[in-house]
Amino acid sequence: MPEVLIRVEDLWFRYGETSPWALKGVNLSVFEGELIAVIGQNGGGKTTLAKCIAGLLKPTKGRVLVENLDTSTTPTHEIVKKVGYVFQNPSHQIFESKVRDEVAYGPRNLGLPPEEVERRVKWALSEVGLLGYEDHNPYDLDYGKMKLLTIASVLAMKPKVLILDEPTTGQDHRGRHLLAELALKLNKEGITVIVITHDMKFVAETAKRTVLMAGGEVVLDGPTSEVLYAVDVLRKNAIKPPQVVQLSIELKRRGIDISALTVREAFEKMQVLLERRAGSRSRG
């Protein structure tokens, strides 16, 4: 059975003593090798939960354990070795004048020898497809490449868990596709990935497990194939299911059951269904 990397236990958080609760009694376990999407409307607690997991925020009540280290008592610089957090806006994360130095910043802070820092820089840039951009100024890159750079700078720390906060915001179709492929590739390589997102198509294409949050609480938590088909609960929480899911539900009402999450999956299932029907007719 996969190891539990993160355990969130009765987590409560608020930003000030008189502020409303941003998180209310959240319980969640993240297992090694998972690719999880956390969805919900603004104010639902998604980003607050992610920052608590990354050690950037300390619980008001309850606790978060990262490989059995309590984030309330463990220095943040120890947590970031295990959990990497990529901010939604690249400009909130980039502060060096060269791509190479931006990616090297984290490993250097870990006190690694120069040759290991250089190895990690090359590896991380290769992972995101930015080899050859080492001497570029990050702010000369387009938005999509800036986002990839922020991911590389976190990957260079070699975290076990990677949190991507709204990775597809501001991305064109090509950028979205590249990020989906990257998330799947990194997960296949053994990195546990948590995606905070409003992008239901991205969720359908990447996540194996989905957590729906609203009002600072977990409303649903299960396989993506189940959560995205809980359309009544999603709509109650102002989440629109992917178009493929809506189409699948309508087809099921008409006696055609494909239960797909992506266009490719729907096409493949429809093709199989049509071939079966054609075979039945030919035998008849």
pLDDT tens digits for range 15-69: 999 999 999 999 999 999 999 999 999 999 999 999 999 999 999 999 999 999 9
Q: Which of 217, 218, 212 lies closest to 232, judged by CA?
A: 212
Tokens at 235, concatenated:
């709509």
Alpha-carbon distances, residue 254 vs 232, 246, 251 (angstroms): 19, 13, 5
In this structure, how many other beta carbons lie within 10 angstroms of the beta carbon of residue 277?
Answer: 10
CB 38 within 8 A of CB 195: yes
Between β-strands 23-31 and 4-13, what pairing exists: parallel, antiparallel or unpaired? antiparallel
- The mean pLDDT value of the chain amounts to 94
Q: In what order do the strands lie in the sheet with 69-70?
A: 23-31, 4-13, 61-66, 69-70
Query: Would you state the pLDDT for residue 275?
Result: 79
Q: In the chain, how long is the greatest CA-to-CA distance?
A: 74
For 147-202, write each residue's pLDDT tens digit. 999 999 999 999 999 999 999 999 998 999 999 999 999 999 999 999 999 999 99
Structure tokens at 217: 């609480």
Phi-psi region of 162 (alpha: psi -120 to 50; beta: other; left: phi over 0): beta
Edge-to-edge strand ranges of the sheet holding 161-165:
83-86, 161-165, 192-196, 35-39, 209-214, 217-223
- For 66, the token pair is 């990262």
What is the spatial distance between Cα 81 and Cα 68, in angstroms, rounded to a whole number?
A: 14
Per-residue model confidence (pLDDT) at position 283: 57
C-beta atoms surrounding 185 within 10 Å:
12
pLDDT at 279 over 80: no
CA distance 193 to 140: 28
* Band (263; pLDDT cuts 50, 70, 90): confident
- Enter the DSSP assignment of 17: T
What is the pTM for the complete model shown?
A: 0.93
| Structural domains of the chain, ranges and CATH numbers in brackets | 4-235 (3.40.50.300), 242-284 (no CATH)
